[in-house]
Amino acid sequence: MSAARLKRIVIAGGGTAGWMAAAALARTLGKSIELTLIESDAIGTIGVGESTIPPLVAYNRLLGINEADFMRATQATFKLGILFDDWKEKGSRYFHSFGTTGQDHWSAGFQHFWLYGRDRGHQQPYDDYCLELVAALQGKFAHLPEDRMNYAYQLDSGLYAKFLRSMAEADGTRRVEGRIATVELDGETGNIASLTLDTGANIQGDLFLDCTGFRALLIEQHLHAGFDDWTHWLPCDSAIAIQTASIGPPVPYTRAMAHDAGWQWRIPLQHRVGNGLVYCSRYLDHDTALERLLGNIEGETLVQPNKLRFTSGVRRRQWHRNCIAVGLSGGFMEPLESTSIHLIQRAVLRLIRMLPLSEISERDVAEFNDQQHADMLQIRDFLVLHYKATERSDSPFWRYCRDMAVPDTLTQKIELFRETGRVFRKNEELFAENSWVQVMMGQGIMPRAWHPIAEKLSDEELARLLATVRDNVARTASGLPTHGTYVARYCGASSARAA
Ligand SMILES: Cc1cc2nc3c(=O)[nH]c(=O)nc-3n(C[C@H](O)[C@H](O)[C@H](O)COP(=O)(O)OP(=O)(O)OC[C@H]3O[C@@H](n4cnc5c(N)ncnc54)[C@H](O)[C@@H]3O)c2cc1C
């Protein structure tokens, strides 16, 4: 006789993680599960998390979300990448775009042809060969046939949770308001049996998703899943966030401006701009950080500053017993490349793929934990790269970053690129070759060699290849509408500003 069906899924927490999970589970599994989400208005959500990366487009499509409706509801803009200021050295600037650069050969990425071209006297910047990058810096955007424009969104996190909530509730999710006061464990199995709220309500379940944010109320406070602290590689541990009024049409990119103990973000939405100063509290105190942030924002401030503390690192077991950490409860690696919402998405889709029929298989648990961990290690290395590969030595913070020991996996990636120009994407690694190349070159790591295939081209063929790609990019970008105009027309919310 088979064991009882696993039917009752309880989500603890209603931030971006909780509602992303609820919306996806409810839409995908419908009435085959009973889904309950508990959230506490009194506790509230973290209130940040507004810059995303392209896989969110696919997530929305998977859930059948109409893009224009979603963007209107969340006051979203398009994002083509991140503009990095002052990272390599003060006064330097580079762009990490979501596009592909140039044309690859199956044996070698475009950077090999560009590097050989540079050696042959072609001095045009690598940036000129990427449509998303050129369009972003010109403030242009449009959807292109065959998804030739690769993009993500910049959105209002509060409105996003609200949007997902209405979707999840329409698909049958039961929302329960209240603070989880106690967590009851099954004396025999050690699994979570139920959650009791301060209202007295008792919510029982078969599977629990811990979406309680940094509190990690279930997975850590009760199940003690363990945490690996990565602060020695990602030393920023504090942030102050503030929203300002827009002073012009939104640009289709997020800004990451380095300062002497961290960096500052600027995320333009339709109705306002999100700003924040990320810093390392060992090198900068809160009052100075706030003063610095207020001195480098544009437009009138709309809210009181929101002070946040975090520890970069990862929950050792993301799935432990009958509990799965989704969102900040599973770990956080600072917001530099906007990977956190993406990790929520990965965890949710992974869980749906591995959803048990009845009893939880330890094989599933091990597989889930392995895959989640691999994602996080790869993202960690990519983030650490931005700090390690710097020529800045103007402050104790940057000297620490420049001199710190980094994971061997990152050293291998950097030195391989420096020696050969090669980057290999491992398994389902989030950041592809183009991302690594742009950031490594942007941070000042230039390859000493290129693949010999590039030299198969005659001087004329090489010149033609480079000119053709560059001209196509320039022509396509010049024909695009401005981002502000496109957003207003496609998904303009009431207070959107056009160019
Ligand atoms: C400074 C900073 C900037 C960031 N920027 C980005 C970004 O640009 N892009 C990106 O992808 N990510 C970003 N993130 C991460 C992003 O904010 C989160 O991944 C995302 O908001 C998900 O948070 P969450 O839902 O896990 O947690 P939270 O938003 O904290 O939600 C926790 C939920 O649990 C509930 N809860 C907690 N305890 C209890 C209890 N006892 N009883 C009942 N309910 C409870 C709360 O009420 C809330 O509903 C940033 C994070 C930080 C710190």
Cα 226–chain centre separation: 23
Q: How far is CA 42 from CA 13, 45, 227, 433, in A?
A: 12, 9, 27, 44
pLDDT at 419: 98
User: Is the beta carbon of 38 within 6 A of some atom in ligand 1?
Assistant: yes
Any idea what DSSP says for residue 105? B
Largest CA distance in the chain: 78
Residue 312 Cα to ligand 1 midpoint, Å, equals 14
Residue 103 Cα to ligand 1 midpoint, Å, equals 39
User: Is the beta carbon of 56 within 6 A of some atom in ligand 1?
Assistant: no
User: Is the beta carbon of 262 within 6 A of some atom in ligand 1?
Assistant: no
Rounded Cα gap, residues 465 and 457, in angstroms: 9
pLDDT at 4: 84
- Ligand 1 atom closest to 17 (CA): 25
Assess whether pLDDT exceeds 80 at residue 495.
no
User: Is the beta carbon of 442 within 6 A of some atom in ligand 1?
Assistant: no
**H/E run at residue 29:** helix 16-29
pLDDT at 499: 42
Give the pLDDT confidence of 420-466 residue by residue, as tens digits: 999 999 888 999 999 999 999 999 999 999 999 999 999 999 999 99
Evaluate whether 314 touches 284 at the Cβ level (below 8 Å). no
Give the pLDDT confidence of 158-215 residue by residue, as tens digits: 999 999 999 999 999 999 999 999 999 999 999 999 999 999 999 999 999 999 999 9
3-state DSSP assignment of residue 184: strand
Strand order of the β-sheet with 180-185 is: 180-185, 192-197, 202-204
Length of the chain as a residue count: 499
**H/E run at residue 174:** strand 174-177
Residue 17 Cα to ligand 1 midpoint, Å, equals 7
pLDDT at 251: 98
- Ligand 1 atom closest to 339 (CA): 11
Residue 286 Cα to ligand 1 midpoint, Å, equals 21
Cα 256–chain centre separation: 13
Higher pLDDT, 334 or 1: 334
Measured by CA distance, the residue closest to atom 31 of ligand 1 is 15
Stated pTM of the model: 0.96
Residue 159 Cα to ligand 1 midpoint, Å, equals 14
Radius of gyration of the chain (CA): 23
Contacts of 266 (CB under 8 A, 6+ apart): 254, 255, 257, 273, 274, 275, 297
Give the pLDDT confidence of 60-113 residue by residue, as tens digits: 999 999 999 999 999 999 999 999 999 999 999 999 999 999 988 999 999 999
3-state DSSP assignment of residue 200: coil
Q: Which amino acid is at 250?
A: P
3-state DSSP assignment of residue 309: strand
User: Is the beta carbon of 48 within 6 A of some atom in ligand 1?
Assistant: yes
User: Is the beta carbon of 51 within 6 A of some atom in ligand 1?
Assistant: yes
pLDDT at 173: 98
DSSP E strand boundaries for 191-237? 192-197, 202-204, 207-210, 227-229
User: Is the beta carbon of 264 within 6 A of some atom in ligand 1?
Assistant: no
Rounded Cα gap, residues 88 and 387, in angstroms: 9
User: Is the beta carbon of 217 within 6 A of some atom in ligand 1?
Assistant: yes
3-state DSSP assignment of residue 320: strand
Residue 155 Cα to ligand 1 midpoint, Å, equals 15
Assess whether pLDDT exceeds 90 at residue 494.
no
- Ligand 1 atom closest to 239 (CA): 1
Give the pLDDT confidence of 260-294 residue by residue, as tens digits: 999 999 999 999 999 999 999 999 999 999 999 99
Contacts of 395 (CB under 8 A, 6+ apart): 260, 261, 283
Task: Count CB-CB contacts under 10 A for residue 459.
Answer: 11
Give the pLDDT confidence of 111-124 residue by residue, as tens digits: 999 999 999 999 99
Mean pLDDT in residue range 350-360: 95
pLDDT at 437: 98
Give the pLDDT confidence of 302-349 residue by residue, as tens digits: 999 999 999 999 999 999 999 999 999 999 999 999 999 999 999 999
Residue 181 Cα to ligand 1 midpoint, Å, equals 19
Cα 493–chain centre separation: 24
Pocket test for ligand 1, best of 45, 165, 237 (most atoms within 8 A of CB): 45
- Ligand 1 atom closest to 338 (CA): 9
Query: Cα(first)–Cα(last) distance of the chain, in Å?
Result: 66
Evaluate whether 82 touches 337 at the Cβ level (below 8 Å). yes
Give the pLDDT confidence of 5-37 residue by residue, as tens digits: 899 999 999 999 999 999 999 999 999 999 999
Rounded Cα gap, residues 130 and 206, in angstroms: 49
What is the percent of the chain where pLDDT is above 90? Answer: 96
Which residue, among 5, 2, 4, 11, has the nearest Cα to 351 in the 3D structure? 11
pLDDT at 2: 57
- Ligand 1 atom closest to 44 (CA): 47
User: Is the beta carbon of 239 within 6 A of some atom in ligand 1?
Assistant: yes
